[in-house]
Amino acid sequence: MKNAMAFFDGQNLFQHAKDAFGHFHPNYDPRKLHLAVCAARGWRATLTRFYTGVPVESEDKMWSAYWSSRIISMKRSGIHVTTRKLRYRKTDVFDDKGSPVVDHNGKQKVITTPQEKGIDVRLALDVVSLARKRQFDVALIFSQDQDLNEVVTEVTSIAEEQKRWIKVACAFPDGPSATCRRGIDHTDWFKMDETFYNACLDPRDYRPAKT
């Protein structure tokens, strides 16, 4: 039986599950998904690794609190969690004529866009590093980020050097409303339909109660 280690791009999986199935917060259980895919493929599930950007409290108090609670829970369940603080890009708002749009106080309106930096790079580096250390036979990636397809080339090279079998697989939500129905190129795709995905939800809602 092949040992499969899971690598979750937390925000990427959430966005695609939102599009495909209409889930409006990251309510999946990474460990359950890892076990379920491995059971379907006949692999042995080993360590679950989770990667996500985390909002800073000053920019988004609710989601900052959400991820603080969620990360503690995942770590307690044995999941290895890697985080990076989100960065924020601020853009001035202008109307169709190019004039600044102001708020009721006469101040220039600004759009704040959160950006996740470094998560996909860290995930890719870990896949390659752990392959070299012979920590898995299957790297099971929960993401549809095509930037990760270069990992496959590196892992294939490592397999040839070590004269052993290694697979890179990609699990992702798939439904009629999905905005992307492709996995990472050159990986073994595992399409998760809504029934499969919903059987692996975390019953706890980590969103803070409204006061």
CA distance to 9, 39, 54, 195, 204, per residue, from 36 (Å): 17, 5, 27, 12, 19
Centroid of chain to Cα 193: 17
Centroid of chain to Cα 198: 17
Asked if residue 21 lies in contact with residue 175, where contact means CB atoms within 8 angstroms, the answer is yes
Asked if residue 150 lies in contact with residue 124, where contact means CB atoms within 8 angstroms, the answer is yes
The DSSP annotation for 110-124 comes to EEEEEE--SHHHHHH
Residue ranges per structural domain of the chain: 3-85+116-198
Please give the model's pTM, rounded to 2 decimal places: 0.87
CA distance to 27, 128, 138, 172, per residue, from 189 (Å): 22, 19, 12, 8
Instruction: Read off the pLDDT of residues 73-90 as tens digits, 9 standing for 90 and up.
Output: 999 999 999 999 886 566
Instruction: Please tell me the predicted confidence (pLDDT) of residue 208.
Output: 84
Residue 18, Cβ neighbours under 10 Å: how many?
16
- Measured N-to-C along each axis, helices 119-132 and 149-162 cross at an angle, to the nearest 10 degrees, of 10
Distance CA 89, CA 109 (A): 14
Element (H, E) at 41: helix 30-41
Q: What is the CATH superfamily name and number for domain 3-85+116-198? A: 5'-nuclease (3.40.50.1010)
Instruction: Please tell me the predicted confidence (pLDDT) of residue 116.
Output: 61
- Extract the residue ranges of the chain whose pLDDT is less than 70: 87-90, 93, 110-117, 210-211
Distance CA 47, CA 33 (A): 12
Instruction: Please tell me the predicted confidence (pLDDT) of residue 52.
Output: 95
Nearest to 190 by CA among 158, 142, 150, 148: 142
Asked if residue 12 lies in contact with residue 145, where contact means CB atoms within 8 angstroms, the answer is yes
